[in-house]
Structure formats: structure tokens, C-alpha cells
Amino acid sequence: MSLKDRLVEDMKAAMKAKEEGKVRLSVIRMARAAIKNSEIDKKQEFNDEQVIEVLAREVKMRRDAIAEFTKAERPEKVKELEEEIAVLMEYLPQQLSEGEIRRLAQETIQSVGAQGPKDLGKVMGALTPKTKGRADGKLVNQIVRELLGS
């Protein structure tokens, strides 16, 4: 079952669940709309890998918004966004731990022969495809900078 099919099935289940599925239903509908809009922009049907990219982008937008709402002291919005992230994370692949990201980063640094901070772009270019949808880009960048000694 593709990820898009799973979203449709889960949306139907959330509709049948009435009240307890309200947040879940709205998040799934939003995710499907984001996927559909991206498909229209790119003029192609998305595969699971592309769907994961869209879902990861949605999670990132919510994480960024949480920081802003925390600054604005809006705990009810922060809680709502955290619930939305929890629903979206169910559709993303298992997230990498910080240790796994460090290991991948060290392997990539060795494979591209990075010497220092000036090689950050080379390392990130090689590492990003390995972590796409499975790790937060900010965390990956932070770990690579730390390992390169910048």
C-alpha cells in the first residue's frame, strides 16, 4: 500500500471516528492537499519518496511555528502544533537518532575528504540524500558543523 493510499484509508477511519478523530482528520486532509498541490506544481504523480519529502516539509513548518508561538507565549497553539506533528510523524520513516546522524556524518566527511569548515557544502550535499525525511536538516547541519570544527 502506497503512502497516499494509506492517507486515504486513515482519512476514512478518522471520518468514521467523528469527535476523537477531528485533529487527525484535519491534519490528514491538510497533508493530502499539500501533496496534491505539489503534484500539480511539478505536473507529475508523486511516489512514496516524494510524498515523504512533502510530509517532512510540513513537519518542519510546524516545528518552526512552534518556536514562534513559544516566543509569543501561546501555549494552546504550541500544543495544537505538537499534536499535528505527532500525526504527521506516523507517515514518515523511522527518524534517525543523533548518534546515527553523527555516524553518517563522519562517514560522509571521510568519503568526500572534507578538511574543515570550508567543506561544509560538499559534506551536506552528500549527506542530505541519506537523511532526507529521516532527520531534521537543522540538526544534521549542526552536527556536521561541529564535526568539521567550525
Is residue 88 within 8 Å of 103, Cβ to Cβ? no
CATH, residue 144: 1.10.10.410
CATH at 11: 1.10.1510.10
Same domain? 22 vs 70: yes
Query: In the numeric block, which cell numbers belong to residue 28?
Result: 490528514
Note whether 69 and 141 are same-domain residues.
no
Same domain, 84 and 133: no
User: Do 80 and 123 have their domain in common?
Assistant: no
Separation between Cα atoms, residue 46 and residue 8, nearest integer Å: 15
pLDDT in tens, 65-88: 999 999 999 999 999 999 999 999
| 5-34 pLDDT, tens digit each | 999 999 998 888 876 768 899 999 999 999
Q: Are residues 111 and 81 in the same domain?
A: no
Domain boundary among 89, 117, 132: 89
Q: Dump strand ranges (E) for 66-120.
A: none
Q: Are 72 and 142 part of one and the same domain?
A: no
Q: Are residues 68 and 138 in the same domain?
A: no
Task: Check whether residue 109 and residue 50 sit in a common domain.
Answer: no
CB-CB contact of 140 with 128 (8 Å): yes
11 and 82 co-located in one domain: yes
Please check whether residues 85 and 102 belong to one and the same domain.
Answer: no
**Residue tagged 486515504 (cell numbers):** 8
Contacts of 120 (CB under 8 A, 6+ apart): 114, 141, 144, 145, 148, 150
Q: How confident is the model at residue 1 (pLDDT cuts 50, 70, 90)?
A: confident
Residue labelled with grid coordinates 510546524: 62
> Total structural domains in the chain?
2
Look at residues 89, 120, 136 and tell me which one is the last residue of a structural domain.
89
Same domain, 8 and 82: yes
Angle between helix axes 22-42 and 3-16 (nearest 10 degrees) is 150
Question: For residue 107, what are the domain limits?
Answer: 98-148
Side chain identity at residue 20, one-letter code: E
Compute the average pLDDT of residues 32-45. 94
Indicate whether 80 and 112 sit together in one domain: no
Exposed/middle/buried for residue 121 (C-beta within 10 Å: 0-12, 13-18, 19+): exposed
